[in-house]
Amino acid sequence: MSVAGKARKVTTHTLLEMKRQGEPITMLTAYDFSLARIVDQSGIDVILVGDSASNVMAGNDTTVPITLDHMIYHAQCVVRAVERALIVVDMPFGSYQGNSKLALESAIRIMKESGAHAVKLEGGSEIVESIERILTAGIPVMGHLGLTPQSIYKFGTYSVRAIEDEEAKKLIEDCKLLEEAGCFSIVFEKIPAELAKQASESLNIPTIGIGAGAGVDGQVLVLHDLLGITHEFNPRFLRRYMNLYEDISSAVSSYIEDVQSGDFPNEDECY
């Protein structure tokens, strides 16, 4: 039986073992109880309480506005639903950059108040001190390199990162730094597939890609994108498995019609 199949609960060690055995790791986002329950019971390995909740749940243009309190609230909802998956929570913008004491306090709040299993931080050498300090408290840390949406105002666009040699070289160096610091895994977002493959092969810890090709150790997508709820977002890396925007819209239209025509409720639907 596979490593993931055997695991009653997925841990950071399960993921390391999966990489060793060449078993692909699956990860999806969730921000609420109902969807987290479905995703967990469907057998996903990792649930990311992503700060993409800022866009998907709250309707913001970027991930910058979401707060630590908001992230803890979403993580609490997910933790109540999940029995098997490893739950990783994004540390939001402003809760760890440039201040390792603040980073540790923020990570401790996430772990204590939500009951999640690990945190994720965006960045490399700039934030390695924060990562090291969080790890001193025994909190597992996932890194995130490439397109780091919390830095959108520095990048100016959401386009593919590390195309130029200099940025690709820094990414490889950052990978090593994060592994040496003690991260248990790294997310690669929107980088060339060949670079992601090369970086993954140079690391002992698993890499999880979104728009980073097939040479990584696992894949992550935003659940609402996969389900086709966020139908206006169409990056090349996204595979949609449903078109829930249209299905929900048509269900709601039918309900409106049925109420307006007097068809709902019928006799069987009354007490």
Q: Tell the burial category of 6 from Cβ atoms under 10 Å away from its Cβ (0-12, 13-18, 19+).
A: exposed
Choice from 23, 45, 51, 217 touching ligand KIV (CB under 6 A): 51
189 carries an active-site annotation: yes
> Are 196 and 188 within 8 A, CB to CB?
yes
**Segment 192 to 221, residues that bind ligand KIV, using CB under 6 A:** 210, 220
Q: Mask 20-39, x = binds ligand KIV (CB under 6 A)?
A: ---------x----------
Query: How far is residue 59's CA from residue 70's CA, in Å, rounded to a whole number?
Result: 13
Write the CB contacts of 84 (distance below 8 Å, at least 6 apart in sequence): 7, 8, 9, 10, 40, 43
Q: Taking CB under 6 A as the criterion, which residues in 151-190 touch ligand KIV? A: 187, 189
- Binding flag, residue 222, ligand KIV (CB under 6 A): yes
Question: Cβ of residue 222: shortest distance to ligand KIV, in angstroms?
Answer: 5
Q: Of the two residues 36 and 220, which places its CB atom closer to ligand KIV in the complex?
A: 220
Catalytic residue among 23, 189, 232, 246: 189
Smallest separation, CB 90 to ligand KIV (Å): 5
Compute the distance between CA of residue 102 and CA of residue 269 in angstroms, rounded to an integer: 55
The least CB distance from residue 174 to ligand KIV, in Å, is 16
Q: Decide: residue 16, CB within 10 A, 0-12 exposed, 13-18 middle, 19+ buried.
A: middle
Residue 169: count other Cβ atoms within 10 Å of its Cβ.
12
- How far apart, in whole angstroms, are the C-alpha atoms of residue 92 and residue 140? 16
Interface with ligand KIV, residue 78, by CB under 6 A:
no
Separation between Cα atoms, residue 182 and residue 140, nearest integer Å: 8
Which residues between 52 and 71 bind ligand KIV (CB under 6 A)? 52
Closest residue to bound ligand KIV by CB: 50
Stretch that binds ligand KIV, among 46-54, 157-165, 175-183, 245-253 (CB under 6 A): 46-54
In the complex with ligand KIV, which residue's Cβ is closer, 143 or 192?
A: 143
Which residues pair with residue 262 across a beta bridge?
none
Stretch that binds ligand KIV, among 35-43, 49-57, 128-136, 174-182 (CB under 6 A): 49-57
Residue 134 main-chain phi, psi, to 5 deg: -65, -40
Annotated catalytic residues are: 189
Residues binding ligand KIV (CB under 6 A): 29, 48, 50-52, 90, 187, 189, 210, 220, 222
